[in-house]
Structure 1
Amino acid sequence: MVAFYLYCASFITYAIAVGGKRWSNRKPEDHTRRWGKIGFGLAVTGWLAHLTFFFTRWYGGGHIPTSNMYEFMTFLGMAIMLAFIVIHLIYRNMLLGAFALPLVIIIVAYASVFPSEVQPLIPALNNVWLKIHVTTAAAGEAFFAIGFAAALVQLIRVVDFNGTDKAAKRSQFWTEFSLFVIIVLVGFLVAVFAFRGSGYEASFSQEKTTIDDSGTEYTSVKEVKYSLPPIVAPYNSETVKFQAFLGMKEPLFEAPAWMNGVNAGRKLNTVIWSVIAGLVLYGLLRLLVRKKLTAAIHPHLSDIDPDDLEEISYRAIAIGFPIFTLGALIFAMIWAEIAWSRFWGWDPKEVWALITWLFYSAYLHLRLSRGWQGTRSAWLAVIGFLVVMFTLVGVNLIIAGLHSYAGAE
């Protein structure tokens, strides 16, 4: 919690560095430098608190804290902060923190959605190669996150918001949409914590039929609990408990038949609430600034050289790529051979890790060999990190597989 609040204070300080320079009595560069140094100091202090949490939990739990979704996401947030510190020390860009810190804050807040209790390791996870695999893979993804932040700033910086041609409107739309996706993630957190704080709860009994290899049919009934008002009920279920919300006394519809997993309906319900909360939050922000959010941010980035941002994004990805290659592929294969007696098994997480690696391989190839620089390179960095986030969140929580994290339910 100390780390989280220090990260929030650091972000506010960086926001002052970006947005307050026009109202400062100092020269704009002096104002930015002063507040940027304060923001960086708070970020480093927060990271040291985060590091203290990591090692004390490791000592108290008896194993490296990356074994469930809560631990992994908090570790990823810490790794992103370390990547930001490294890139900042190389380039001394005072404004990158205004866009890197929100990522860390969102990821740490997202981690707190999951159960935080220390859980014992199953035998397959109690191996040194797993520790090496997970930590190095997360470190590589952390540098991809910094590359994403720099690329997004670059895109907002170079968009022509006065242009009316098709190309300009397309650029305006997609940069705004990229920011909207981040706001939807924030909306998810707002919805979860708001209803959790109010003590909302609903539950359903769901009947599920399975057929084994011999053709025998089994029927089981499981209880599905919701912490968000059920817009969508689980497939083939009956209501056990329902708290009315805004006049809604029953779910609006049932999940389709093909979504017959025990938690499929609840996950769809969560996605719908995330979009609703994101739209409300986005609408409030639009009312506040009375223009597109990217158009409101754009004037404050006029002092930044977009070529510098493109170089930062490329350098961060270039550092992260070999680390990710070692962690997500090579070390992962060694652990898979030890745990499951095979190097590769086409598990969903393995497939998406390979897709991520191939995407960033293409990014580096196109940038170095084909001269894809500027906005094309920036868009690849943004899309690449969206692939990373789907690999981390979508595969872990939606697609069942051997890599589904404990605590993901």
Structure 2
Amino acid sequence: MSLLDFSSGAFIAAFFLYCFGFMFYAVCVGGQKWSNRKPEEHVRRWGRIAYFTSLLAFAAHLTFFFTRWIGGGHIPTSNMYEFMSFLAMAIMLAFFVVHAIYRKPLLGLFTLPLTVIIVAFAAVFPQEVQPLIPALQSGWLRIHVTTAALGEAFFAVGFAAGLMYLLRTVDFKQTSEQARREQRWVEFTLYVIVIIIAFVSSVFAFRGAGYEATFSKETVTIDDNGIENSSTETVVYSLPPIFKPFNSQDVSVDSFLGMKEPLMETPTWMHGVNAARKLNTITWSIINGSILYGIIRLLLRRRIGAAIHPFMEGIDEDDIDEISYRAIAIGYPIFMLGALIFAMIWAYIAWSRFWGWDPKEVWALITWLYYTAYLHLRLSRGWHGKKSAWLAVIGFVVVLFTLIGVNLVLVGLHSYAGV
């Protein structure tokens, strides 16, 4: 067995151990009503089991990280698979730090599933070790990416605690207009999480079935001398093609539920074969996510938030609010160092300029400004409770777009990370 094969095995082991850790935290928090032990003894016993399992998962994740680093020859943070894997590991490190301060097992009930989702999301991307492009062949790769990811990891823990606070304090039995509005937004947040889970599940299901659809598109360009140059782009879909690239040819399309060809072309303004694939992926994610959400609603016979809310009773909401703020306060200077200061130093070394308005740079700045506003409103305006929790939830949406949306949707100097 090669070192990279061992690394992949450690990655899979970490994923399943994270799943077990989540289940043990669920027993710790939700099983108190059915336990024969006193609530304090039950929480202490299962909290230790869950925490120890999480530590084992983190150790397996560290093993994956360092063995891949040694086997691949460079730090594994250069593409989406490696970076999202590292982000999940950083979230667990942030969780251990915050847990050491507050000793609240409930935090694991929301942090562990977030880690599981991100690990599964990472596995969607190509997992081969790729050589570093020239711009990444620098020691600053280790400094910039790891510190930026660690800051974002603390933001993720703040998001988890903020969502916990909303599920604890939003009353799903109230019928006032403000209560209904809060209920809808909490449910929408959970709906988006279900869509992400459905996306990961769909990709693995179709990959397991060996599904594939291939399209080619010829592009003609005219250079400054008036000479025509033609090139052919090819794109492979892993999900059935609802959309195909504009003005493209079907190379091969596997049949799915009787559908042997795409339903429609993408609009003319969506340039490039990958734009169609991304639109197709988003469409399938929303469709399957809506179906999965509907199934969950049928099984629960009520909103997901309303089903979770009773398990939050007895939780000190002030503690959760403080945890969310503290996690973001710890992550803020780390993110500023990694995503802005270290990034600008590296940009000057690599491209001879500190700032270039690249989409990734712009969204890193937006993220920093957003959390600057969060801390200002929290400390100067007294935005505690629900206001602070909503800011923590929305802030992580901004982080996710900076991490995923910029790499996969927008085109810029950081587009290599989406490969």
| TM-score exceeds 0.5 | yes
| Partner Cα separation in structure 1 for residue 70 and residue 111 of structure 2 | 29
| Partner Cα separation in structure 1 for residue 212 and residue 120 of structure 2 | 21
Residue 211 of structure 1: how far off its partner (Å): 4.8
Residue 364 of structure 1 aligns with which residue? Answer: 375
How many aligned positions are there?
Answer: 408
Residue 247 of structure 1: how far off its partner (Å): 2.3
Residue 124 of structure 1 aligns with which residue? Answer: 135
Judging changes above 3 Å, is the alpha-carbon distance between structure 1 residues 25 and 130 closer, same or farther for their aligned structure 2 residues?
same
Residue 62 of structure 1 aligns with which residue? Answer: 73
- 1:336-383 deviations in Å (ceiling 9; x for gaps): 000011000000000000000000000000000011111000000000
- SS state of the match for residue 104, structure 2? coil
Residue 216 of structure 1: how far off its partner (Å): 5.3
206-215 or 17-26, which deviates more: 206-215
- SS state of the match for residue 233, structure 2? strand
Residue 95 of structure 1 aligns with which residue? Answer: 106
The letter for the 2-side match of 1:68 is N
- 1:96-143 deviations in Å (ceiling 9; x for gaps): 111101111111111111121222222221111221000000000000
The letter for the 1-side match of 2:34 is W
Residue 348 of structure 1 aligns with which residue? Answer: 359
| Partner Cα separation in structure 2 for residue 277 and residue 371 of structure 1 | 41
TM-score normalised to the size of structure 1?
0.97
The letter for the 1-side match of 2:303 is K
Q: Is the 8 A contact 1:68 1:405 kept in 2?
A: yes
Residue 249 of structure 1: how far off its partner (Å): 2.4
Q: Is the 8 A contact 1:190 1:277 kept in 2?
A: no
| Partner Cα separation in structure 1 for residue 369 and residue 20 of structure 2 | 37
Percent identity of the aligned residues? Answer: 68
Residue 329 of structure 2 aligns with which residue? Answer: 318
Residue 65 of structure 1: how far off its partner (Å): 1.1
Q: Is the 8 A contact 1:130 1:332 kept in 2?
A: no
Residue 166 of structure 1: how far off its partner (Å): 0.6
| Partner Cα separation in structure 1 for residue 402 and residue 225 of structure 2 | 34
- 1:129-162 deviations in Å (ceiling 9; x for gaps): 2210000000000000000000000001000111
| Partner Cα separation in structure 2 for residue 329 and residue 62 of structure 1 | 26
Residue 187 of structure 1 is aligned with which of 198, 220, 226?
198
| Partner Cα separation in structure 2 for residue 356 and residue 105 of structure 1 | 24
| Partner Cα separation in structure 2 for residue 162 and residue 223 of structure 1 | 53
| Partner Cα separation in structure 1 for residue 237 and residue 168 of structure 2 | 42
Q: Is the 8 A contact 1:152 1:378 kept in 2?
A: yes
Judging changes above 3 Å, is the alpha-carbon distance between structure 1 residues 221 and 15 closer, same or farther for their aligned structure 2 residues?
same
218-227 or 261-270, which deviates more: 218-227
Residue 384 of structure 1 aligns with which residue? Answer: 395
Residue 236 of structure 1 is aligned with which of 243, 247, 259?
247
Judging changes above 3 Å, is the alpha-carbon distance between structure 1 residues 209 and 358 closer, same or farther for their aligned structure 2 residues?
farther
Judging changes above 3 Å, is the alpha-carbon distance between structure 1 residues 213 and 286 closer, same or farther for their aligned structure 2 residues?
farther
Residue 218 of structure 2 is aligned with which of 207, 225, 244?
207
Q: Is the 8 A contact 1:139 1:324 kept in 2?
A: yes
- SS state of the match for residue 271, structure 2? coil
| Partner Cα separation in structure 1 for residue 290 and residue 14 of structure 2 | 29
1:262-281 pair list within 5 angstroms: 262-281=273-292
